[in-house]
Amino acid sequence: MLRSVILAAARSARVERLVETAPLSREVVRRFVAGTDTSDALRVTRELADAGLAVTLDNLGEDTVTPEQAQATREEYERLLAVLAEAQLTPMAEVSVKLSALGQRFDEKLAYDHARAICVAASAAGTTVTLDMEDHTTTDSTLETLTRLREEFPATGAVLQAYLRRTEDDCRALAVAGSRVRLCKGAYKEPETVAYQSPLDVDLAYVRCMNILMSGPGYPMLATHDPRLVAIGEDRAKWFERSADSFEFQMLYGVRDVEQRRLVEQGYLVRTYVPYGTEWYGYMMRRLAERPANVALFLRALTSR
Ligand code: FDA
């Protein structure tokens, strides 16, 4: 119930204005968001690299409505990739991209062209791009774009969401050599017709998808903070005799930091997803929807001075 309310608020411009102008919002946001510009992204990437973590950077923004915004997003990624290469933080750092930030909702070809330009920049910087997955109305379009990009840039990564009923089939299709697949539970409010609704069903689907990916020849990226799923991931790695460089765990910046470092100490490759930028509202609201304790933290900050 609370999750539905927060996810509905995530799409409300009125609530967005209220939250953005609240006194301490920004302080709470800092727990989950690296900062507003490229230099913040660079600073946090360096800190995480020093702690033995790999990184994927997300320039925050979604639901772009003008070609100018889409162009600006592409240019920010190009700038970021050049700066990361210059600082010798690639290939340890890569980027995650939302096609909606590149104009997918109003011009799919434009979004493809921008995504391709970002792949060119990533390739020049010696690193990779992973396409984030948004709500289910965009899944086909995103996977089609992925297929086209992979013809030229085979290491381009996909995200699959275990809560979607279709995802086991998508996992089978993408569990092929050289294919990088980030498996997450899914963060959007989706109808029963397309997505499992109960946490148990989502967890069971995650394990079925993980089995497909971990037993296949591709490169699985297990994106979850769920202790049971992490333990099952460790188990499957042993069962399918996967070497430490043939899969990775991924978690969000600011979530379960101690666990991220524990997994590094165990010899696993762990990648932290680091968002940065000024458009933090939609991202933050999805994080709040995932965990009631975060809502309490946020409300305390909003109401105190
Ligand atoms: P779950 O939400 O069940 O949480 C399990 C436990 O983890 C909690 O009990 C708590 O201890 C901890 N935890 C989880 N979330 C927390 C939070 N926000 N704050 C503090 N503790 C928390 N989704 C999507 O739809 N499209 C995408 O492209 C991506 N991309 C993506 C990349 C990466 C690297 C990650 C880790 C996640 C995503 N997601 C995503 C988000 C994903 O779908 C999902 O919403 C979150 O990861 C939360 O699900 P968990 O698997 O962590 O389990």
Q: Which residue has the higher pLDDT, 135 or 14?
A: 135
What Å distances lie between residue 78 and 57, 84, 224, 236, 239, CA to CA?
12, 10, 28, 37, 40
Residue 52: pLDDT over 50: yes
Q: How many residues are there in the chain?
A: 305
Tokens matching residue 105: 């909702």
Nearest CA to ligand 1 atom 13: 225
Nearest CA to ligand 1 atom 2: 290
Query: What ipTM was estimated for this complex?
Result: 0.96
Domain boundaries, the chain: 34-279
Report which of 122, 106, 114 is spatially closest to residue 71, judged by C-alpha positions.
114
* Residue pair 244/268 in contact by the 8 Å Cβ criterion: yes
Residues 100-135: pLDDT tens digits?
A: 999 999 999 999 999 999 999 999 999 999 999 999
> CATH number of the domain at 34-279, out of 3.30.565.10, 3.10.20.30, 3.50.50.60, 3.20.20.220?
3.20.20.220
Distance CA 52, CA 54 (A): 7
What's residue 6's pLDDT?
A: 67
Q: State which ligand 1 atom lies nearest to the alpha carbon of 229.
A: 51
Nearest CA to ligand 1 atom 21: 255
What's residue 252's pLDDT?
A: 94
pLDDT grade for 62, boundaries at 50, 70 and 90: confident
Distance 224 CA to ligand 1 centre (A): 5
**Phi, psi for 187 (deg, rounded to 5):** -120, 0
Contact residues of ligand 1, CB 6 A cut-off: 132-133, 159, 161, 182, 184-188, 223-226, 250-252, 255-256, 273, 287, 290-291, 294
Q: Which residues are catalytic?
A: 132, 182
Q: State which ligand 1 atom lies nearest to the alpha carbon of 273.
A: 34
Distance 209 CA to ligand 1 centre (A): 16
Residues 153-210: pLDDT tens digits?
A: 999 999 999 999 999 999 999 999 999 999 999 999 999 999 999 999 999 999 999 9
Distance CA 199, CA 182 (A): 19
Distance 31 CA to ligand 1 centre (A): 15
Taking all residues of the chain, what is their mean pLDDT, rounded to a whole number? Answer: 91
Distance CA 260, CA 186 (A): 20
